Chain A
Amino acid sequence: MPSDFSAANVPSVPGLPGRSAPLDTSLVLVSPENIAFEYRLAGPAPRALAFLIDLLLLGLLALAAGLFVGFVGQGSLAGFYLAGLFFLWWGGNAAVEVLANGQTPGKRALGIRVVSHDGLSINVSQSILRNLLRAVDLAPPLFPGVVSMVVTPRLQRLGDLASGTIVVVDRRAADAAPPVVDNGPNFIADMVPAGFVPPLALVEALADYVGRRRVLGPARRQEVAAIAAARLVAAWGTPPARDDDALLCAVYERATSEPAR
């Protein structure tokens, strides 16, 4: 077996044995269904923008209510206005986050969401706490929340740390095109030696190839496939394949096919 294909010494992701951990701001969580899925953490930039949008909306709302109180109520509602402003300032974001499943309008616009660090939705007290603690997180001159986001591995500000929440990129399946898989020709399956079990790293590489080969022209497919195919036939000691693309597809199919159910 050529050592190029060995998957040794690659750190594996919990729940995804054999898959190498990406060097990225992503987080793998295991759901109650015992399925591991990946969250991409939202960085300081989109979070700051989302906060500014929320702040702007809050300001517009306060302005509109202030004009209403001033012109329509002739000031008689000023007490209600100030009390309302208190609840809006300290609790508005929390209320919206709870009702909209972890998203304020700003977060929705930036495509991010607050979730509990175990991947579940946040509850009321988590949401209130993280929004109250924003008062400290944004306190000048040190801005402890920004410092905290830089030094913690999950990019959490102090409010997130205390309430056990993370902010993640809210990807939607609807944004991704449904997968089209074309396994390719399989007419030279008998070229693959019967006992050959492809190593995981090779299967992963082939998965990438098979997933993308439909966007390549026939000549380009042969060109890309020739590199791996040459090593395979050298390792097997068999004569070169007439169709390298078909050979790789056959190996992939051997590795991934389940017996028919």
Chain B
Amino acid sequence: MTVEEMVKLRLPEWQALEADVAWLRRPTFDRRDPRRILDFSRRYRSACSDLALATAQRYPAETTDYLQQLVADAHSQLYRTESFSLLDWVRSLVVVVPHRVVTDPCFWIALGLFWSLFLGAGAATVLRPSYAVDLVGASTLATMEEMYSRPVSENSNDLQRSTMTGFYVFNNAGIGLRAFAGGILGGVGSLVILAFNAIHLGAVFGHMLTSPQRANFVEFVTAHGPFELTAVVLSAAAGLRLGWALLDTRGWSRLESLQRTAPEALATAGLATVLFILAAFIEGFVSPSTLPYATKAGVAVATAAALGFYFLLPLLLFGTGKGAHRHDA
């Protein structure tokens, strides 16, 4: 059979495959005709063998190019984006991620760095108040003092609370994701953002705790503190894990190591985002509310206890074994 005869013979099938691809490309939420899908996969396989023949037999470039494109089109429809199961993600977030986080040195490094810089900057500011001006600037401190000069529940209606909740999601969770993304630069970006926030927050805390606005300030920051500060640490820990994969490759190539670690780090960043959003709701609706301080402190204790439970329970169940979670993953 000559090339000419072959092309003439197969062209109707190829054009039918082209029509199938166009049909599959059209977004639809209806169930598709299963018979046509079977026809499509059969036509795809035969186009594959036609392409193999055309390549091996050196068909004219026009024909092989056409077949290349046809096969690539059909291939991208046959192997579409895999669907994902929300249930699997939730299960991973409840069981796999907390265990992986607490057995990961990156988490403890981020936690230690954050708290030591936070407490260090706070203590330094308490001991010598001029540090606060050096660290965060006089205008920021003046704004903070102005903000907390009245009880936080005054001038705060439901509209402002929902608006501020949205703002906290946008701003704080955004900082968290930036801290995670910065990890791709060998972890340096995450460390810089983490250290900056720790020192800034520490200085503001140290300054406000020695100022006359102390009571209003404490009343506001108590309730959402546990979730928000943990979320900052988790974001940086996720970025650090990404950056560390570039340095300690465990025998893979650097690229391979990065790509194998990325889904794990991404899950931790996802957990941080969930915590940021929960913290935003507390910060928006509980912290500035008229509830008594005891209730706000109760929320802080409860959220801290929930975090302890969440992270330590899988540790008690599975131990510190490095590979324990991999069977679930």
A contacts, CB < 8 Å to B? 16, 19, 31-39, 75-76, 78-86, 89-90, 98-102, 113, 115, 119-125, 127-129, 132-136, 144, 158-159, 161-164, 171-183, 200, 203-204, 206-208, 210-212, 252-253, 255-261
Contacts and interface: CB of A to CB of B under 8 A. Distances in A.
A76 B159 CA distance: 6
Given A132-B177, A164-B259, A79 B63 contact: no
Interface in B37-79: 44-45, 48, 51-53, 55, 57-63, 65-66, 68-73, 75-77, 79
B236 interface: no
Contacts of B162: 76, 78-80
A173 B55 CA distance: 17
A181 B48 contact: no
B18 A173 contact: yes
A162 B55 contact: no
B242 to A, nearest CB: 7
Contact of B66 (A33, A162, A173): A173
**Residue picked from A19, A37, A38, most chain B C-beta under 10 Å:** A37
Contact of A113 (B76, B84, B189, B269): B76
11 contacts: A35-B51, A39-B72, A99-B27, A132-B180, A162-B242, A163-B262, A171-B72, A181-B60, A207-B61, A256-B3, A258-B53
**Residue picked from B72, B80, B84, B280, most chain A C-beta under 10 Å:** B72
A86 B58 contact: no
Nearest to A260: B1
A86 B61 contact: no
B153 to A, nearest CB: 18
B185 interface: yes
A130 B116 CA distance: 32
A179 B63 contact: yes
A178 B66 contact: yes
Contacts of A86: 166, 169-170, 173-174
Interface string B162-194: 111111011001100110111011000100000
B80 A101 contact: yes
Given A37-B72, A38-B68, A121-B82, A203 B58 contact: yes
Contact of A135 (B11, B181, B255): B181
Nearest to B65: A176
A162 B265 CA distance: 11
Given A173-B18, A173-B66, A35 B48 contact: yes
B81 A37 contact: no
B146 interface: no
Interface residues of B, number: 75
B166 A82 contact: yes
Contacts of A81: 166
Contact of B269 (A33, A99, A132): A132
Nearest to A39: B72
Contacts of B242: 162
A155 B128 CA distance: 52
A124 B84 CA distance: 7
A256 B2 contact: yes
A176 B71 CA distance: 13
B79 A120 contact: yes
B156 interface: no
A35 B60 contact: no
**Residue picked from B14, B61, B63, B81, most chain A C-beta under 10 Å:** B81
A208 B61 contact: yes
Contact of B18 (A76, A161, A174, A258): A174
B69 A173 contact: yes
Given A82-B169, A123-B82, A136-B185, A163 B71 contact: no
B73 to A, nearest CB: 5
A86 B96 CA distance: 26
